[in-house]
Amino acid sequence: MKTLLHPTYFPSISHYIAMIQADELVFETEDNFQKQTNRNRMYIYSANGIQMLNIAVQHQNTEHQKYKEIRLEEQSGWQKNHFKSLEAAYKNSPFYDYFIDDLVLIFQKKHTFLLDLNFEIFDTVNSCLGIDLYFSKTTEYFHEVKDTSNFRHLANGKKDTTQTDEYTQVFHEKYGFIPNLSILDLLFNEGRYAVSYLKQQSILIL
């Protein structure tokens, strides 16, 4: 069965559970952009608890704008700010030094379109995890999909209430376990054991 998802910014752990367990992975690329979703934000575990990192994007004076047409706001300084936040949050995690040299390239390269950035992140994170996830892209948008595991709702972090098994997090003793953060939280804390972890979890299909 096909698994349908949105490409997102450093995807949530639930997003990766769905992707790594998919029989056939399909990315939705023909939808309209929706604000306040994980298309352009991620959540990490900082010294102050959950921290949201959001990318500023350009909005046109139209009611509907295609996700694939969304451009990044070049003057926002998001790359420098996000990298500093990741460094502060995870520099003491077990696998930060092991992966950061590959990930830092994302924050040094100029990107024009949000969707292209998210696909590049997908490739980079997969390389860090040591996995290959083959996928196709939609060619038109359908509100209802048949014979498909529809996980498009996972792009909306507010609606995603996935609970997963605990693993050790940097600030666990301070705030306890926080589930379903960005895949970076799992990667920095568990390294490539993250793959086994993801295969053992389950999420709800809507």
Does residue 27 have a pLDDT over 80? yes
pLDDT mean over 194-206: 88
Q: Is 6 helix (H, G, I), strand (E, B) or coil?
A: coil
User: Given this model, what pLDDT does residue 61 score?
Assistant: 67
pTM, full prediction: 0.95
Enter the tokens of residue 75.
């003057």
Using an 8 Å Cβ cutoff, are 145 and 4 in contact? yes
Which tokens is 12 given?
């949530």
DSSP for 40-71? SEEEEEETTEEEEEE--B---SSS--BGGGPB
| pLDDT score of 89 more than 60 | yes
Encode pLDDT of 90-134 as tens digits. Answer: 999 999 999 999 999 999 999 999 999 999 999 999 999 999 999
Local structure of 117: helix, strand or coil: helix
